[in-house]
Structure 1
Amino acid sequence: MADAASSPGLVKTNASPREERVGMLLVFLSALMWSFGGTIARFVTVGDSWTVIFWRSVWAAAFLLSFMAWRDGWRGMLRSFRDMGLPGLAVGSCFAIASTAFVVALAYTTVANILLMQAGVPLLAALLAWALFRERVGAATWVAIAAVIVGVAIMVSESLDGAVSPIGDGLALLIALMFSIATVITRRFASVRMTPATCLGTILAAGFAASQASAFTVSAGDMGFLFAFGVVNLGIGLAFFATGARLIPAAIAALLGTFEPILGPIWVWLIHSEVPSGRTIIGGMVVVTALLVHIGLEFKRQARPQRAGVTGVPSPN
């Protein structure tokens, strides 16, 4: 049986074409949920970032625990926490660091700078998957990655001439690195359910924020927005991502995740009447076009009958 890594046009995957399509949809939905973050955050008036992180993480953890209890039952949920092992602990730690760094970074640097760093996630994920596990990255994926980076760079270029904070930009780079590692691990250990790992990440983030927050009391209005920030933006997004990323290659999962910085400005424009700049619109069109073309090519590849003796399923590890 030929290895997929040596067969042009094939992406190394353990999932069937139908499962890959479902995985793509779920990862896109996770990006959709995450894209509401900036819009929701604009409504929150709490001044302490650690208080925001605490309540956001608490509500996300509560949702994920309830979701797993409903899906698997209490015994099944406890078993899934036990069975996630070291890969789950690693993914949980990555998401805890990334979700915490995102809120803290907003106090030091612009959202634009954070988005520019996040544009490198597909490249980092592809490089990590290739370097660590020799997961093949096709030429079309590399082209799409390059287009995404160019498009997001155009979007945020107007904000790059402001004051640069080494702390803020360092945290933004940390977010991209942690998300890339989590993407690759989730893909590599596809047999491990990662929803418990993402839940663990929210619990870890809440615990650390609790040790740093100056106060926990917030207004009823802020609590409502923090609930949405935790459940809709973080919790549901993590559940979609953990379920879908295990079905598709890490580079494609990271590419789909770039819909987050594209859709984010649209919601802010529609809800807060902040009109995107010309560069934001142009850059967004570049990214969306690259993603749609790449996804279309993937669907076409999956629908094409494979040559005799070629398979997209690698040998068992």
Structure 2
Amino acid sequence: MTDTTSRQIATSAAIPLREERIGFLLVFLSALMWSFGGTIARFITVGDSWTVIFWRSAWAAVFLLCFMVWRDGWRGMLKSFRDMGLPGIAVGFCFAIASTSFVVALAYTTVANILLMQAGVPLLAALFAWALFREKVTVATWIAIVAVIAGVAIMVSESVDGAVSPIGDGLALLIAFMFSIATVITRRFSSVRMTPATCLGTILAAGFAASQASTFAVSVGDMGFLFVFGVVNLGLGLAFFATGARLIPAAIAALLGTFEPILGPIWVWLIHSEVPSGRTIVGGAVVVTALLVHIGLEFKRQARPQRAGVTGVPSPN
């Protein structure tokens, strides 16, 4: 059993069952909020993606700043920004690039293509951690990584033969890459708090988009959708996750997170009749299956010490 697993089990043992259930709910709600991103974006009629990025990021930044002030107070908020250091800045840049690429990619490819590629982020992060820091990777994880790469290759193959824009698939891959790097940094520097780092990312994205946008003027209807896009989809989703993820095991948090790439394409299909291509469905199924199997094995591995006599640990169900 690794030191990380020991800490997770000790943490779980110290968390009351009621709080753990609240953690389950909050992390699920975060995935639910994030899954509406593509659907909300399809309602926005603004032609300039940079205008959308600016307003979405600005609204999210305002919400996250207010959330941190409410949670930690003014001094606590400022301290959290100071304490995140260079790792937090790096995570902020990764998030800024990923969130910006998401909005731009929506103009070139389907929501399903973007979200299903993101489903492989935990396994890609394991690959990067092995390549950069030589972290141990089990045989099961290697098999899952190969499956994810194969699934992504199936989805990307449409851009190779000209069926879809290579820009859309390229940006979707960039999003997955940035989130994977952010995950590795967060693992290596466990003191990095997600909320201020991500808030920094929204500020950076808004600042860069402001320099690129052709106009800031939008209709009242579009502003309403942009508010929801920034506050509910991005900001509230992050607040739910940041609050709930610390109350449950990492494997369960990752499992609940898979609801985003699963539900996201369904909402767009039901509301906007955006049907993913056959290759997207096949490749996405490979990616999601590999992730779910890997998470299930990881959860069983983490739970094994409980059967060996660890007492006082709430059931993960």
| Aligned-partner residue type, residue 269 of structure 1 | W
Query: Aligned letter for 2:294?
Result: H
Measured in 2, the distance between the counterparts of 1:111 and 1:234 equals 16
Where does structure 2 lack aligned partners over 5 or more consecutive residues? 309-317
| Alignment pair present for 1:100 and 2:100 | yes
Name the residue aligned to 1:84: 84
Give yes or no for the alignment of 1:15 onto 2:8.
Answer: yes
- TM-score, normalised relative to structure 2: 0.77
- Superposed CA deviations along residues 252-305 of structure 1, whole A, max 9, x for unmatched, are 977875543332111112323445566655555555544444333333222222
- Specify whether residues 293 and 110 from structure 1 end up closer, same or farther in structure 2 by C-alpha distance, changes over 3 A only: closer
Q: What is the CA distance between 1:218 and its match in structure 2?
A: 1.4
Q: Relative to 1, partners in 2 of residues 1:246 and 1:86: Cα closer, same or farther, differing over 3 Å?
A: farther
> Structure 1: 5+ residue runs without aligned partners?
6-10, 309-317
> For 1:88-115, what per-residue CA distance to the aligned partner results, in whole angstroms no more than 9, with x for missing partners?
1110111111111222233345556545
C-alpha distance in 2 between matches for 1:293 and 1:16: 21
**AA of the residue aligned to 2:305:** P
1:142 correspondence with 2:142 = yes
Which deviates more, 287-296 or 124-133? 287-296
Please state how far the C-alpha of 1:184 moved relative to its aligned partner. 0.8
Q: Distance in 2 between matches of 1:40 and 1:197?
A: 24
Instruction: Report the 3-state secondary structure (helix = DSSP H, G, I; strand = E; otherwise coil) of the residue aligned with 1:136.
Output: coil
Aligned to 2:314: none
Is 2:222 the counterpart of 1:222? Answer: yes
Secondary structure in structure 1 of the residue aligned to 2:226: helix
Tell me if structure 2 keeps the 8 A contact 1:183–1:254: no
Letter in 2 for 1:15: Q
Asked if 1 retains the 8 angstrom alpha-carbon contact of 2:27 and 2:256, the reply is yes
The alpha carbon displacement at 1:173 in A equals: 3.1
Deviation at 1:248, TM superposition (A): 6.9
Q: Is 1:176 paired with 2:181?
A: no
**How many percent of aligned residue pairs carry the same amino acid?**
84
Contact 1:256 1:291 in 2 (8 A): no
Whether the 8 Å contact between 1:125 and 1:183 is mirrored in structure 2 is yes
Is 1:39 the counterpart of 2:39? The answer is yes
- Separation in 2, partners of 1:300, 1:71: 34
Q: Does 1:301 align with 2:301?
A: yes
Cα offset for 1:30?
Answer: 4.0
| CA distance 1:169–1:275, shift in 2 (3 Å) | closer
Which residue of structure 1 lines up, in the alignment, with residue 201 of structure 2?
A: 201
Decide which moves more: 96-105 or 272-281. Answer: 272-281
Length-normalised TM-score, structure 1: 0.77
Q: Once structures 1 and 2 are overlaid, which stretch shifts more, 108-117 or 17-26?
A: 17-26
Q: For the Cα contact (< 8 Å) 1:53–1:205, is it kept in 2? A: yes
1:186 and 1:242 in contact (8 A); partners too: no
> Residues of 1 paired with 2:55 and 2:288: CA distance?
33
Are residues 125 and 291 of structure 1, via their aligned partners in 2, closer, same or farther at CA, if it must alter by over 3 Å?
closer
How many corresponding residue pairs?
Answer: 300
Structure-1 residue corresponding to 2:315? none
- 2:181 pairs with 1:188: no
| Aligned counterparts of 2:121 and 2:201: Cα–Cα separation in 1 | 19
